[in-house]
Amino acid sequence: MQRFLAKRAVSSGVSLILLVIAVFFLSRLTGDPTDLYLPIDASQEARENFRALHGLDQPLIVQFFSYLGDLVRLDFGESIRRARPALEVVTEAFAWTLQLAVITMAIVSGAAITLGSLAAFNLGGIFDRIATFFSLIGASAPDFWVAIVAIVVFSVGFGWLPTSGTGTVWHWILPIAVLFIRPFGLILQVVRGSMITALGSAYVKTARAKGVGPRATIFVHALRNAMLPVLTVIGDQAAALLNGAVVVETIFGFPGIGKLMIDSILQRDFSVVLASIMVTAFAIFLMNILIDLAYAALDPRIRY
């Protein structure tokens, strides 16, 4: 197991390095920040001073290796827009996204696993058909469309919920509800399919023949063996949320990492863009390690 985790760590490290290289050079294609932050009639001297202040006066390859040297020391540079350390700006935004992702995935996982298991147990019944119908709709619904419709109906139409911000509990309802729909539909379908296989296995049939009740059959005997593919999907959906849920955060004005990335790209705040991607990628790497450990806990064969 330790060897397996070591290999995953090395492969993730290589991916992070390639990601840094790609994002560093691609972000520079958005243009020169000098044109954005200085007046049109700014003097050439003022432009040169601005570039020198932010390390933009050097050749691109020199800037890159200078950034790598700073990155080794965990120095992500300073935000041009906010005149603060980029890592500090990013961690503040990431804390909001992390809260949103954890709350959403906790609700999604509990609901999808429970309802998907019950749908598989009642295969072909009314409950199974209803759960399958709504899960397929949820998995197919575009986030941006659902978010806009939710604002029009519940904020503008009925006036029940605020359109944006994070001031109260009510501000969180629409973003969580919108982010809930797609992963719920996907995970429920995977749980249902995996549980159908598990419930048809010999050990479950033996347990039921011995008089084990439906609840124990589903959630004790069958669910553990059905969880491996479910964990994979949960991990993928959690990674999607950690990536910032860019569209949803932008629509609802939620101050998370996704909105910060979009704003920083538009503002050509290169240090914040790179720091956002690095922090998010590292968080996803840690989450994948935790999923691997969960695999080993559920299936001892993986440890070897």
Whether residue 91 is found in the same domain as residue 65: no
User: In sequence order, what are the residues at sequence separation of 6 or more whose Cβ sits closer than 8 angstroms to the Cβ of residue 239?
Assistant: 284, 287, 288
Same domain? 278 vs 228? yes
Examine residue 213 and state whether it is found in any structural domain, yes or no: yes
Residues 32 and 105 in one domain: no
Q: Is residue 152 part of a domain?
A: yes
Do both 204 and 92 map to the same domain? yes
pLDDT of 268 reads 84
- 138 with 208, same domain? yes
Is 11 in the same domain as 44?
Answer: yes
Tokens for 285, please give them.
Answer: 């790497």
Given 72, 106, 129, the domain boundary residue is: 72
Residues 55 and 199 both lie in one domain: no
Residues 132 and 272 in one domain: yes
Residue 57 domain-assigned (yes or no):
yes
Segment 237-247, tens digit of pLDDT: 888 787 657 77
Q: What percentage of the chain has pLDDT greater than the value 90?
A: 6
Q: With contact defined as beta carbons under 8 Å apart, do 90 and 269 qualify?
A: no
In a domain, 199, yes or no: yes
Residues 91 and 8 in one domain: no
Asked whether residue 81 is domain-assigned, the answer is no
Number of compact structural domains in the chain: 2
State the angle between helix axes of 270-298 and 86-121 in degrees (0 to 180), rounded to the nearest 10: 30
Q: Classify residue 299: in a domain, yes or no.
A: yes
- For residue 80, being part of any structural domain is answered with no
Asked if residue 136 is part of any domain, the answer here is: yes
Last residue of one domain, picked from the residues 72, 94, 119: 72
Task: Note the pTM of the prediction, 2 decimals.
Answer: 0.78
* Pairs from 289-292 (Cβ < 8 Å, separation ≥ 24): 289/5, 289/8, 289/9, 291/231, 291/232, 291/234, 291/235, 292/4, 292/5, 292/8
Distance (Å, rounded) from C-alpha 162 to C-alpha 105?
22
> What is the sign, positive or negative, of the torsion defined by CA atoms of 270, 274, 280, 281?
positive
Regarding whether 36 and 134 lie in a shared domain, the answer is no
Q: Which domain holds residue 253?
A: 86-303
For residues 196 and 173, state if they share a domain.
yes
Note down pLDDT in tens along the chain; length 304 residues.
567 667 767 777 777 788 888 888 887 777 777 877 777 777 778 888 878 877 777 888 888 888 888 788 888 888 888 888 888 899 988 888 888 889 999 999 999 988 988 888 888 889 889 988 988 888 888 888 888 999 999 988 888 888 887 878 898 999 999 999 989 989 998 888 888 887 777 776 776 776 767 677 776 667 777 777 888 888 888 887 876 577 788 888 888 888 888 888 888 888 888 888 888 888 888 887 777 777 666 666 555 5
Judge if 55 and 123 occupy the same domain.
no
Query: What is the domain-level CATH number for residue 128?
Result: 1.10.3720.10
| Final residue belonging to a domain, choices 72, 100, 133 | 72
